[in-house]
Chains A and B, each alone.
Chain A
Amino acid sequence: MTFEEHEKKLMRYFDNEMDTGEREEFKKHIETCDSCRALLQDMSSLKEVTDSMKVADLPEVVWEKYWNSFYNRLERSVAWFLFIVGALILNGYWIYRVIIDPGTYTVVGLGVVFTLVGFAILFLSVLREKITVNKADRYISEVDR
């Protein structure tokens, strides 16, 4: 057995990841191996301490508000999506109307230009921020995995 195989077996034994037969077989080895026994003892001491630690709970009021806060965020993300899609459809339609009848829709045309310029600035701003983050971001491809 290579050292790597041995260390993996030791981990699987300690973390209870072995089936009964394999566990019994490895237990026999441990009884005859001082270094394995010493290492298991050290790991047990560590586990004893970590088992006595648990994540400190936040005040109950935080958890009571958690769902509402989450739901609001979810709702806003859906609302923003619908708003953007709606604005794009409306602007597309207005542009079409302005092109086919420029004289009649000067005021609408002005509104379209302002809205589109506003969108373009927002889009470029968000895009620039994303690019800045992504340049230093090794994990982006894993997020949507």
Chain B
Amino acid sequence: MCGQAENVLLEQCRAHNMGAYRALVERYKRQAYGFAFSYLRNTEDALNVSQDAFIKVWKAIDTFEKGRSFRPWLFSIIKNLSLNLIEKKRSLREISIDKAMDESFFDLVDDSSNPHELLEKSETRRMVWKAIMELKDEFREVIILKHFHDLSYREIAETVGIPEGTVMSRLYHARLLLKESLEAVL
């Protein structure tokens, strides 16, 4: 969706137009779920958090600055809701810090029909995802926002709440760490 079309949609949402809001939710629901999942690694929690985030957006849409990009705002809400849920679950001992990674999270985009090649790529993908999950939170989130959601530096900075220079620096260090841990497969 181009920026102008998104601004029109957001303007209609500000007028509490439910049809426009539905279009906004339909537009971003998969990305919202995917981003929540990268923190929570649980389908049900990720769906709930993504819906909670949309409820927060609905309630606070009047405070959303005109001209600002929507996705960083939505993602920052999802991030904070996810971290709160993780803390809550930790305090209730519902999850382990070393929760097993959900390997079914990613599909492989590949039109190759060679099963060996597919298997090899699948293994590489699994190792890359594992290495990303093992990064410190501050590095993991910038990698996910850049590599899987294709956000610009400015959008990542808005989402995470850090300066653009720090985004670059974190990306640099995160990629170096990934390079080290994935030396054998890349």
Contact = CB atoms under 8 A, between A and B. Distances in A.
Sorted from nearest, which 3 A-B pairs have the closest CB atoms?
A: A55-B34, A50-B147, A143-B80
Interface in B33-53: 33-34, 37, 43, 47, 51-52
A133 B58 CA distance: 24
B172 A45 contact: no
Interface of A: 4, 7-8, 10-12, 15, 17, 39, 42-43, 45-47, 49-58, 62-63, 66-67, 69-70, 73-74, 77, 132-133, 136-140, 142-145
A42 B186 contact: yes
Contacts of B77: 143
B104 A56 contact: yes
A67 B54 CA distance: 10
B84 A58 contact: no
Given A45-B186, A46-B178, 4 more contacts: A49-B125, A53-B148, A143-B77, A145-B161
Contacts, number: 131
A43 B104 CA distance: 25
Contacts of A136: 87, 90-91
A36 B79 CA distance: 33
B29 interface: yes
A133 B91 contact: yes
B14 to A, nearest CB: 16
